[in-house]
A and B are shown apart, each in its own frame.
Chain A
Amino acid sequence: MSATVGNPLLLAYAAVACTMLSGAVSLLAVRRHPGFLHFGSFLFLFFAGAASVAGGGWSLLAKLTVTDRFKLGLPWLDWHLRLDPLSGFFLMLLGTLVVAISLYGPSYTREFARGPAAQPLPPLGVFTALFVLGMQLMLLADDALVFMIFWEMMSLSGYFLVVYQHQHAANRHAAFLYLLLAHVGALVILLSFGVLAAFGGGLTFDLMRAAKLTPLWATIAFGCAFAGFGVKAGMVPLHVWLPDAHPVAPSHISAMMSGAMIKMGIYGIVRLSYDLIGDVQWEWGVVVLIIGTASSLLGVLYALMQHDLKRLLAYHSIENIGIILMGLGLSMIFLGSGHKMLGTLGLVAALYHTINHALFKGLLFLGAGAVLYRTHARDLDHMGGLIHRMPVTAFLFLVGCVAISALPPLNGFVSEWLTFQTALQAPALKNGLLRTMLPIAAALLALTGALAAACFVKAFGIAFLGRPRTRRVARAREVPAGMLGGMGLLATLCLLLGVFPTTVIEAMAPITQLLVHEALPSAAAEGWLWLTPISPQVASYSAPFVVAAIVVVFGLGYLFLKRGTAPARRAYAWDCGFGQLTQRMQYTSSAFSQPIRRVFGGVWKVEEKIDTLASAGPIPRVTSLHYSVHTHDWSWLWCYVPIGRLVLAAANRIGFIQTGNIHTYLKFSFVTLLVFLWIVS
Chain B
Amino acid sequence: MDRELTAWALAAAQALLFIAAAPLLAGWLQRVKCHMQNRAAPAVWQPYRNLAKLLRKRMLLAENASWLFRAVPYIVFGAMLLAAAVVPLIAVRLPSAAIADMIVLVGFFALARFFTALAGLDIGTAFGGMGASREMMVSALAEPAMLMAVFTLSMTASTTNLSVATGYILEAGLVLRPSFLFALLALAMVAVAETSRVPVDNPATHLELTMLHEAMILEYGGRHLALIEWASQIKLMIYSVLIVDFFFPWGIATEFSAAALAVGVMAVAAKLMLLAVILVVWETVLAKMRLFRVPQFLGFALMLSLLAMLTHVVLETGG
B82 within 8 A of A: yes
B160 contacts A538, C-beta separation under 8 Å: yes
CB contact under 8 A between A573 and B78, given known A388-B66, A427-B317, A595-B137: no
Shortest distance between the CB of A445 and any CB in chain B (Å): 9
Q: A465-B122, A536-B98 are known contacts. Are A571 and B133 too (CB-CB below 8 A)? A: no
CB-CB < 8 A to A421: which residues of B? 103, 160
Which chain B positions have C-beta within 8 A of A408? 100, 104, 107-108, 111
Q: Which of A503-542 contact B (CB under 8 A)?
A: 526, 530, 536-542
Name the contact of B133 in the complex, choosing from A553, A585, A593 (C-beta under 8 A). A593
* Contact residues in A for B64 (Cβ distance below 8 Å): 385, 388, 467, 573
Does A549 contact B81, Cβ atoms closer than 8 Å? yes
The minimal Cβ–Cβ distance linking A462 to chain B, given in whole angstroms, is 7
- Residues in A with CB closer than 8 Å to B161 are 537-540
Given contacts A460-B118, A537-B164, A583-B124, contact A549 B78 (CB under 8 A): yes
B50 CB, nearest partner CB in chain A, Å? 16
Q: Which of B66, B78, B140 has the most CB of A within 10 A?
A: B140
CA distance A573 to B158 in the complex (A): 50
Q: Does B219 contact A (CB under 8 A)?
A: yes
- The distance from the CB of B81 to the nearest CB of chain A, in whole angstroms, is 6
Q: Evaluate contact between A457 and B140: CB separation under 8 angstroms.
A: no
Known interface pairs A574-B219, A596-B137; A443-B147 also in contact (CB < 8 Å): yes
Please name the residue on chain B nearest to A534 by beta carbon: B159
A453 interface residue per 8 A CB criterion: yes
Residues of B within 8 A of A583 (CB): 124
The answer to whether the Cβ of B213 comes within 8 Å of any Cβ in the partner chain is no
Interface size class of A (residues with CB under 8 A): 35 or more
Is B148 a contact partner of A467 (Cβ separation < 8 A)?
no
| Interface residues of chain A: helix, strand, loop or mixed (majority) | helix
Chain B interface mostly helix, strand, loop or mixed?
Answer: helix
Question: In chain B, what residue has the closest Cβ to A410?
Answer: B111
Which residues of A have CB within 8 Å of B133? Answer: 458, 587, 591-595
Q: Flag whether A286 is at the interface (Cβ < 8 A).
A: no
Whether A636 is near chain B, meaning CB under 8 Å from some CB there, is no
Least CB distance from A434 to B in Å reads 10
Q: Which of B67, B82, B133, B143 has the most CB of A within 10 A?
A: B133
- Residues of chain A with a CB closer than 8 A to B310's CB: 436
Residue B33 lies at the interface, judged by CB distance under 8 Å to chain A:
no
Q: Which residues of B contact A424 (CB under 8 A)?
A: 151, 154-155, 160
B200 at the interface (CB under 8 A from A): no
Q: Are B130 and A435 in contact, CB atoms less than 8 angstroms apart?
A: no
Cβ-based interface call for B117 (8 A): yes
A21 within 8 A of B: no
Q: How far is the CB of A604 from chain B (nearest CB, A)?
A: 16
Known: A421-B160, A549-B85. A447 touches B144 (CB 8 A): yes
Whether the Cβ atoms of A542 and B100 lie closer than 8 Å is yes
Q: How far is the CA of A583 from the CA of B107 in the complex (A)?
A: 33
Known: A440-B309, A549-B82, A573-B63. 10 other contacts (CB 8 A): A387-B122, A405-B114, A443-B147, A450-B136, A461-B129, A462-B121, A538-B160, A539-B103, A541-B99, A545-B100
B interface, CB within 8 angstroms of A: 55, 58-68, 70-71, 73-75, 77-79, 81-82, 85, 98-101, 103-104, 106-108, 110-111, 113-114, 117-118, 120-126, 128-130, 132-134, 136-137, 139-144, 147-148, 151, 154-155, 158-161, 164, 208, 218-219, 222-223, 227, 291-292, 295, 302, 305-306, 309-310, 313-314, 317, 319
